[in-house]
């Protein structure tokens, strides 16, 4: 398959370049980076020099001038909705790593993103690319909306309990930690070393844009609070929901997770709480759970690499399923340790 990576100079785009090089069915023919057009990928991202010694970044317009099968679009919110319709009309499939096609209610974009959606009709045809929960829906999909890193970690941890009616679907609390790469490559005061090092910061209080995405996926009401911490990659979620069952124990909760993900190669159930670093470098999501009989709360935990399972790896995993490939093709099943 001849592919374009749109936004290849960003962190998620660079990760798509790296992972695509080890995928036997993906050939990168265009890598766009609007402000870096004409510049060598090897020069801009030296870590990729061995994989792409002669590839240069192109302007976004190159995707409409090249014979393509699929475009992986890794652009900030608001950009892909103006590109995807023309891609689909020309027969090119689209895998969007941004938020443009994740929400099904167009009004949610006005509420949470502050602007009306330019292509609301496509919201009904996009398929949410969380493979573990939408594997059947993804088969033959031509427009895939890749979930965000926080919604992925939250849904994989909370979903099994909400789906089974074991947890109250109101009053859920989701606290999450993320490495600084989740903020993207663009510089800002928040990610300057002097501010970030040795620091931790809650942000997006009450208004974070991933809130409606998590609620849509889980059919639940929740309060989501993310935190920025001084590490480059990784997401760690700890979430709390009221248990509906008087007999649910921690062992039962772990069994629920094991039963749910028995056939999912990228979700690993751990008896001990996962740490943020456990999954770095892999497409894995580690999940665990506890039940506090004293207070009646279920505590669920998950960890993933925000640039792989939370972005580029998830995009390739969803594309694999949509196109009849082995789900694990081209994706790392192990992290980097120590």
Q: Which CATH class is domain 2-125?
A: alpha beta
Would you state the pLDDT for residue 275? Answer: 96
What is the percent of the chain where pLDDT is above 70? Answer: 100
Q: Which of 3, 149, 222, 315 is catalytic?
A: 149
Q: Which residue has the higher pLDDT, 337 or 97?
A: 97
pLDDT one-digit tens code per residue, 184-198: 887 788 888 889 899
Q: Which CATH class is domain 149-305?
A: alpha beta
Mean pLDDT, the chain, whole residue set: 96
285 is catalytic: no
User: Does 149-305 match 2-125 at the fold level?
Assistant: no
The average pLDDT across 53-73 equals 97
Q: Give the 3-state DSSP-derived string for the chain, with helices as H, strands as E and coil as C.
A: CEEEEECCCCHHHHHHHHHHCCCCCCEEEEEECHHHCCCEHHHHCHHHCCCCCCCECECHHHHHCCCCCEEEECCCCCCHHHCHHHHHHCCCEEEECCCCCCCCCHHHHHHHHCCCCCCHHHHHCCEECCHHHHHHHHCCCCEEECCCHHHHHHHHHHHHHHHCCCECCCCEEEEEEECHHHHCCCCCHHHCHHHHCCCCEECCCCCCCHHHHHHHHHCCCEEEEEEECCCCCCEEEEEEEEECCCCCCHHHHHHHHHHHCCCCCCEEECCCCCCHHHHCCCCCEEEEEEEECCCCEEEEEEEECCCHHHHHHHHHHHHHHHCCCCCCCCCCCCCCCC
Residue 122 pLDDT greater than 80, yes or no = yes
The domain segmentation of the chain, as residue ranges, is 2-125, 149-305
pLDDT one-digit tens code per residue, 150-191: 999 999 999 999 999 999 999 999 999 999 998 888 778 888
Full-model pTM: 0.96
Would you state the pLDDT for residue 9? Answer: 95
């Amino acid at each position: 398959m001849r592919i374009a990576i749109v936004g290849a100079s960003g962190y998620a785009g660079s990760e798509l370049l790296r992972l695509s090089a080890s995928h036997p069915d993906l050939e990168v023919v265009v890598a766009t980076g609007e402000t870096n057009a004409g510049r060598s990928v090897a020069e801009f991202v030296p870590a990729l020099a061995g994989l792409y010694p002669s590839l240069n970044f192109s302007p976004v317009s190159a995707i409409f001038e090249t014979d393509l099968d699929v475009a992986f679009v890794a652009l900030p919110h608001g950009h892909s909705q103006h590109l995807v319709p023309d891609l689909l009309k020309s027969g090119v499939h689209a895998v969007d790593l941004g938020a443009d096609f994740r929400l099904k209610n167009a009004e949610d974009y006005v509420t949470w993103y502050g602007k009306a959606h330019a292509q609301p009709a496509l919201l009904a045809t996009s398929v949410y690319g969380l493979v573990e929960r939408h594997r059947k829906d993804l088969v033959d999909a031509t427009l895939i909306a890749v979930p965000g890193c926080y919604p992925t970690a939250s849904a994989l941890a909370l979903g099994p309990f909400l789906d089974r009616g074991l947890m109250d679907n109101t009053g859920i609390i989701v606290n999450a930690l993320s490495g600084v790469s989740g903020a993207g490559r663009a510089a800002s005061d928040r990610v300057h070393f002097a501010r970030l090092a040795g620091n931790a910061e809650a942000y997006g209080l009450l208004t974070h844009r991933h809130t409606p995405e998590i609620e849509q996926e889980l059919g639940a009401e929740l309060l989501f609070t993310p935190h920025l911490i001084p590490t480059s990659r990784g997401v760690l979620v700890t979430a709390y929901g009221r248990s509906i069952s008087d007999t649910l124990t921690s062992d039962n909760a772990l069994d629920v997770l094991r039963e749910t993900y028995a056939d999912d190669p990228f979700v690993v159930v751990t008896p001990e709480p996962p740490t943020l670093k456990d999954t770095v470098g892999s497409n894995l999501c580690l999940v665990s759970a506890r039940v506090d009989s004293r207070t009646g709360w279920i505590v669920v935990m998950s960890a993933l690499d925000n640039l792989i399972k939370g972005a580029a790896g998830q995009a390739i995993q969803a594309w694999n399923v949509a196109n009849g490939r082995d789900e694990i093709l081209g994706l790392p099943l192990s992290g980097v340790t120590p």
